[in-house]
Structure 1
């Protein structure tokens, strides 16, 4: 629709946003409403007349087409210390995605689909990522059991059959109970998949397939072993989503 088809209020708004693309890209719909002195309904109506699904769609258009040079709005207002916190997460996400191998994703999905049963072992803060895998695979119709107790993990690892598979979730790949379990699985020729950030770890050497994420050296809680599990969360989510796609759970 041409701008001539806009009402006076809509035309005024359209002129305002075109004259201030960088500022518009940083504004919420409420802020733009106050800045342009128009109602939020006028904003939505104008954007739809101009071919967008709404104000959010228009803001994304501005950013994608380079009319706003802000990569992340939050970085504009943050001080250097907060920027470093944000950048740490960005680095972990980007490098984890860079480390991913397509063949590992496809092979892990295939191994999981073929397995009669899936065991998932994890300890500590990594348990949250392991629990998410458990739930998602169960929703996909897979028989899955998750264990975090060290004694149970060591006991069960000796009994896992060859037509089953074990998934390990371990940030550093050196958790002793998990390493013990991996050695037992290897002796019994049982396949395993590992999610970790340590590609040189004992678990990485023992696992059949390994997803290797990237972890920065910075730890904002130095007195405690509570490093970021973001790389694990990214990789496990990609694995689960890929499994859903390949098994036809996701409707395209």
Structure 2
């Protein structure tokens, strides 16, 4: 997706914090409520992969009809309702962004590799540990590195029969970017999971698997955005691997 301008980012944040109301707005109403031009709304929608505001509203309504039943949340506190819809939107958008060819490339690379090396930092480490355990259960020798100094050292010692997997929400974590550069310089196959298609990590990786990150964080003073998009993508990757190379059904 194309990067959003400052006004477009503001609008997208406004939309995500008012998801339960947006489907009832006209483009003029949204323009007035968010205090942006209709042209800004249209540009934002197109950058987010929709034909226009009407297309986005249709997508919202369809998602709600096929996923969360209205009676489940209609009596909830408005803020809790928004939180539920935010998570639903993150999951649906992430799944809609899946590129089959990239997933196919990733699972084939993992299958061929003698050793899988996973690099992650911060809260993303939990997702990385889950991936490590599942890959080990599937018979793939897998190591995980989370310490910034060790990440840099290990990334200089990778071998051609290994695959390096990077997990990073924003794709700009310094030591992960450095590690990806080291891997790239040595001709190591690299796979990244991120929500930032314009990040350094995405540009350095052979295969970049993208998810969708909401701009809303429940704890505003800290960088603790939901890792749900990465968790969903890793889960789908493992499932795809099992279906392709393990399952006998």
Confirm or deny a common fold (TM above 0.5). yes
Aligned Cα RMSD in Å?
Answer: 1.6
Q: Retained in 2: the 8 A contact 1:70–1:76?
A: no
Where do 1:51-66 residues align within 5 Å?
Answer: none
Where do 1:186-225 residues align within 5 Å?
Answer: 186-225=184-223
Unaligned segments of structure 2, at least 5 residues? 1-66
Where do 1:59-78 residues align within 5 Å?
Answer: 71-78=69-76
Aligned partner of 2:182 among 178, 181, 184: 184
| Inter-partner Cα distance in structure 2 for 1:77 and 1:200 | 40
User: Following TM superposition, by how much is the alpha carbon of 1:232 offset from its aligned partner in structure 2, in angstroms?
Assistant: 0.5
| Inter-partner Cα distance in structure 2 for 1:216 and 1:185 | 30
Aligned partner of 1:131 among 129, 132, 135: 129
Larger Rg belongs to = 1
Q: Retained in 2: the 8 A contact 1:112–1:118?
A: yes
Partner residue, 1:227: 225
Partner residue, 2:36: none
1:107 correspondence with 2:105: yes
| Inter-partner Cα distance in structure 2 for 1:83 and 1:143 | 42
User: Following TM superposition, by how much is the alpha carbon of 1:251 offset from its aligned partner in structure 2, in angstroms?
Assistant: 4.7
Partner residue, 1:80: 78
Unaligned segments of structure 1, at least 5 residues? 1-68
The size of the alignment, in residue pairs, is 184
**Aligned with 1:97: secondary structure?**
helix
| Inter-partner Cα distance in structure 1 for 2:97 and 2:176 | 23
Partner residue, 2:241: 243
Partner residue, 1:93: 91
